[in-house]
A and B are shown apart, each in its own frame.
Chain A
Amino acid sequence: MTKPPRTLYDKIWDEHVVEVRSDGTVLLYIDRHLVHEVTSPQAFEGLRMAGRRVRRPSGTLAVADHNVPTLGREAGISEETCRLQVEALEANVREFGVPYLPLLDDRQGIVHVVGPEQGFTLPGTTVVCGDSHTSTHGAFGALAFGIGTSEVEHVLATQCLPQRRSRNMRVRFEGRLPPGLGPKDMALRLIREIGTAGGTGCVIEFGGSAVRALSMEGRMTLCNMSIEAGARAGLVAPDETTFAYVEGRPMAPRGAAWEQAMAHWRSLASDDGAAFDLELCLDVSDLAPQTTWGTSPEYGLDITGATPDPAAAPTPVQREAWARALAYMGLEPGTPLEGLPIDVVFIGSCTNGRIEDLRAAARVAEGRRVSPAVRALVVPGSGLVKAQAEREGLDRIFLDAGFEWRQPGCSMCLGMNEDRLEPFQRCASTSNRNFEGRQGRDGRTHLVGPEMAAAAAVAGFLTDVRRFLEA
């Protein structure tokens, strides 16, 4: 009997089913659980109150990233509530025996940068974290999704989660990305196409020649943003690029186990003829650099575009939403994006804080100067990214150009630490969310890729990075 063709998602799902319950839900086994300081205190407290322990500490890895300072952390955390939260995490990992990367450890960084770096994230695994951008790890062909604190507690206690199957969606990116563009542009273009709810209830598998051509860093950027399309998770089937990245990582298999693992990982592609509930194909060969104009990641445009007129919105709800977004962003309908003066540039986050992103930004920044009107921050995604960048001299390029070179963490992606926008400041940011108040109360965020962010820093306004390539 031949088995019906299955998608990559189906394969990972099927392998992790512990039990099918009478109500149709599935008890799914969780291989890897990443824990950070903001969404875990109440989960550990719940365990304590119920007298439970952490069922599988070796499948768990904790790190503080969301509210840590990105300068002078050796002196401790000055914001009291942040300090207390990191201290609570440290006390919890000690009490429950959970592996932890301390704040001053070189391996510390944003949880979604650290997991892959350590080889904690592996193909074919299930990965969860109390953080929506857990979708990042799908770049390895892992089923990775964000969960709430109650579910964090559930996984800590049982290493399992009751789940319902998602729908399969496939997005193929074909063609060759033009110079100066990157996976962030692909992601923003997709979200523009399907909207922030376009992937709701789905796991998106990314494929096509443009995805195959991406590095692991690029695939992580793409999968990272799949949550902004509303998807439960993003996935890329593992291939030689994946194996080359994973091999030799501290927690990756070695020797005979490596060979065995590779044999399994090679089977992790959607079968020919596997059915997808939704399919979409985008050609990237004539893609323009993308930037957002409003307060939702779906409000994207080519950099050559202009803000829309709410009067032209297709529905009354959208008309209101566009008007509200324009007002919040301090923009009139029909305003060209190119030329919008920028106050702050933020290069970092789990979307674009990896070594390739810093290289891409440095290529634009090299030999140029940050505009005197702009404050520009570069925040590496992890201590290892920072060290690697320093070995390559990228820190010098940024510092010479007038960028700030900081310590790793989430930083101005969400402004829980002191890295925040002031009211009404306009920011070109490589992060993933432009929601009202996300980077600071009344702050105005334009999402862009690292090349575009560096170009904006130099120009002092949003500009088309392709001009910098010609020069």
Chain B
Amino acid sequence: MERFESLTGIAAPLLQANVDTDLIIPKQFLTTLVRSGLGRHLFFEIRYDRGGLELPEFVLNREPFRKASILLAGPNFGCGSSREHAPWALRDFGIRCIIAPSFADIFFNNCFANGILPIPLSLPDVEALAEIEGPLTVDLAAQIVSGAGRIWRFEMDPGRKATLLEGLDEIGRTERSLPAIEAWETGREGQRPWL
């Protein structure tokens, strides 16, 4: 899995509340059989007009945000469908970090599996970050976001932090517990034979 240590980049503000995964990547792109290539369809419905041309007012169509690697988002970001196509599309576009007041559970989990760091910060903090011109720096080890001479600390679960810092292969890690899994299954068979 991809590692995440630190990042300095452009932060694009998209502060509307309840941005759902249908909006991040709509259904017509879910028939793909691969993980890559979804970046150009990211936010499709609000990024392009009905003729397929870019909407100039949409943030990711404007300079300098076309090259954003950080997204500043509103509360409950990533709600709705469990589709991992949403983080795939964000990652493929170049987003490595999302800062929002809150995230939907499944989306939050899906980020870590794709080398994206989701950072919960309060709405006033996210709004303050959106006011900053120029790049932001995110340091996962120190759990700090900084920009324009100011710093913000964020909370992060130590397990998730380690996963990103070390780029751990989660499945490989679980496979190391195979003896425990087998023992558990054997015990279970005796107790709950119908399963």
| Interface residue ranges, A against B (CB under 8 Å) | 18-19, 21, 23-25, 27, 29, 31, 38-39, 41-42, 45, 50, 52, 66-67, 81-82, 84-85, 88, 122, 124-125, 130-132, 145-151, 153-154, 157-160, 162, 164, 196-197, 200-201, 230, 232, 253, 257-258, 260-261, 264, 296, 298, 317-318, 320-321, 324, 414-416, 423, 433, 435-438, 441
Contact = CB atoms under 8 A, between A and B. Distances in A.
Contacts of B45: 436-437, 441
Closest 10 CB pairs of A and B: A23-B159, A253-B194, A150-B113, A81-B31, A148-B84, A148-B110, A146-B82, A149-B84, A197-B76, A132-B82
Nearest to A197: B76
B181 A230 contact: no
B34 A264 contact: no
B137 interface: no
B105 A232 contact: yes
A65 B20 CA distance: 22
B181 A85 contact: no
* Residue among B22, B50, B81 with the highest chain A CB neighbour number at 10 A: B81
B20 A435 contact: yes
Contacts of A85: 31, 33
Contact of A147 (B18, B106, B174, B181): B106
B175 A157 contact: yes
A153 B171 contact: yes
Given A148-B106, A200-B104, A264-B192, 4 more contacts: A24-B158, A42-B34, A67-B30, A132-B82
Contacts of A261: 192, 194
Contacts of B34: 41-42, 45
Q: What is the interface residue range for chain B against chain A?
A: 35 or more
A122 B194 CA distance: 10
Contacts, number: 183
Contacts of A153: 171
B59 interface: no
A433 B22 CA distance: 10
Contacts of B76: 196-197, 200, 230
B15 interface: yes
B146 interface: no
B17 A321 contact: yes
Contact of A201 (B105, B110, B157, B184): B105
B39 interface: no
A41 B84 CA distance: 12
A190 B157 CA distance: 30
Interface of B: 15-18, 20, 22-23, 26-28, 30-35, 45-46, 50, 74-76, 79-84, 87, 102, 104-106, 109-110, 113-114, 123, 157-159, 162, 170-171, 173-175, 177-178, 180-181, 184-185, 188, 192-195
B20 to A, nearest CB: 5
A162 B174 contact: yes
* Residue among A150, A230, A324, A415 with the highest chain B CB neighbour number at 10 A: A150
24 contacts: A19-B177, A27-B181, A29-B181, A38-B30, A41-B32, A45-B34, A81-B31, A132-B80, A146-B82, A147-B109, A149-B84, A150-B113, A151-B110, A158-B174, A159-B181, A160-B174, A200-B104, A257-B193, A317-B75, A321-B17, A321-B18, A416-B27, A433-B80, A437-B22
Contacts of A131: 81-82
A25 B163 CA distance: 12
B171 A50 contact: yes
Contacts of A321: 16-18
B174 A230 contact: no
Contacts of A27: 174, 177, 180-181
Given A150-B170, A157-B171, A317 B84 contact: no
Contacts of B82: 39, 130-132, 146-148
A152 B22 CA distance: 20
A257 B194 CA distance: 6
Contact of A416 (B17, B30, B113, B180): B30
B23 A318 contact: no
A123 to B, nearest CB: 11
Nearest to A21: B159
Given A148-B113, A200-B105, A232-B105, A415 B27 contact: yes
A298 B92 CA distance: 31
Contacts of B194: 122, 253, 257-258, 260-261
